[in-house]
Structure 1
Amino acid sequence: MIFRNDNLKSNHIVNKLKKYVENTFVNQIMSKNVLTVKVSETLEEVAKKMKEENVGCVIVVDKIATLGIVTERDFVTKIVAERKTPHTKIFEVMSSPLITIKSESTIWEAAEIMKEKSIHKLPVIEDEEIVGIITTTDIVRISSVGSDSQMRKICDQILMRMKDD
């Protein structure tokens, strides 16, 4: 990402943001509200659960393993666009293998993975168990906390660029 640094204040803000994302850990900002669904569930069942729980994605599991992820975006790109029926099994549209990050990783590392893999939601693991999820929105939102309006504007620009990718 390239920022125009028109003055010293802009340089200071960019450096402050970079330092922040390099020194803040995933487990500090992740959401612990992770919804898991069984591999045998249908799209209709999963959509209802996502609405009830107000979540943007689900983790697909079977009896012994975590298999994949389905996001709101998948409902548009893989389900509606491909005209899947409500009775289609969730495993048919899940993204797999599941890309994860360790809870003690930095949000900088999380952002790098998201950018490299072109994803916006990243399950967080501890001891091979999913303990949370971090999103591009989480990273930018937490980075923009504070009174500096110029820093908030930069964070908003970052979020818009990440969403466009």
Structure 2
Amino acid sequence: MDSTFVNQVMSKNVLTVDKSTSIQEAAEKMHKSNVGCVVVTDDLKPVGIVTERDFVTKVAAEGRPLFTEISEVMSSPLITIDQEETIWEASEMMKQKTIHKLPVLEDEKIIGIITTTDIVRISSLGSDSQMRRVCDQILLRMKDK
């Protein structure tokens, strides 16, 4: 049975900002790039992530000034996945960690991101045989547990 891998589904449009970037500048870049999160870097190494939800819960709800550095509101350590993992593994990781966005790492560099929306899209856009294959993967994994 064929598997669907993260690198087949991930988006390569990943926005990154340095940890010293202000939350306002990060939000402006997210808006301009039309993305729902930003990966935070330190000397180009990914160290955290800030999502739209973080802007609600950690910025607006706490009344943080817009000049606050993004590193103060990022989720860290950054949870990542390898591009050769299956979407099943990505789904399991998201479920266990209660996250919706999973950066894809290769050689300590962000090369993409997979989201719950991507997983739903691949499940709903596929042909019946593709959907059956995804369901079979899930059922096989459930049997092993």
TM-score, length-scaled by structure 1: 0.74
How much does 1:39 deviate?
0.8
Contiguous gaps of at least 5 residues in structure 1: 1-18, 156-165
SS state at 1:48 partner: helix
1:101 paired to 2:94? no
Q: Is 1:122 matched with 2:102?
A: yes
Match of 1:37 among 17, 33, 39: 17
Q: Quote how far apart the aligned CAs of 1:42 are.
A: 0.4
> Which of 39, 43, 50 is 1:70 aligned to?
50
1:92 counterpart = 2:72: yes
User: Structure 1 residue 143: deviation in Å?
Assistant: 0.9
2: distance between equivalents of 1:29 and 1:111?
12
**Which of 46, 49, 59 is residue 79 of structure 1 equivalent to?**
59
**Separation in 1 of the partners of 2:10 and 2:45?**
22
The amino acid across from 2:22 in the alignment is T
SS at match of 1:141: helix
* Normalised TM-score (structure 2): 0.84
Q: 1:97 to 1:83 in 2, by over 3 A?
A: same
Q: Give the distance between the partners of 1:27 and 1:36, measured in 2 at CA.
A: 19
> Which amino acid in 1 is paired with 2:66?
P
Q: Which amino acid aligns with 2:78?
A: L
Structure 1 runs of 4+ aligned residues shifted over 2 Å read none
Letter in 2 for 1:75: F
Q: CA RMSD in A?
A: 1.7
Q: Which runs of 5+ in 2 are unaligned?
A: 136-145
Partner of 2:141: none
| Separation (CA, whole Å) in 1 of partners of 2:124 and 2:98 | 22
If asked which structure has higher relative contact order (CA below 8 Å, sep 6+), I would say 2
Give the % identical residues: 68
The alignment of Structure 1 onto Structure 2 pairs a total of residues equal to 130
Larger Rg: 1
Q: Deviations over 1:23-81 (max 9, x none)?
A: 10000010000010011110110010000111110010121522100001100111111
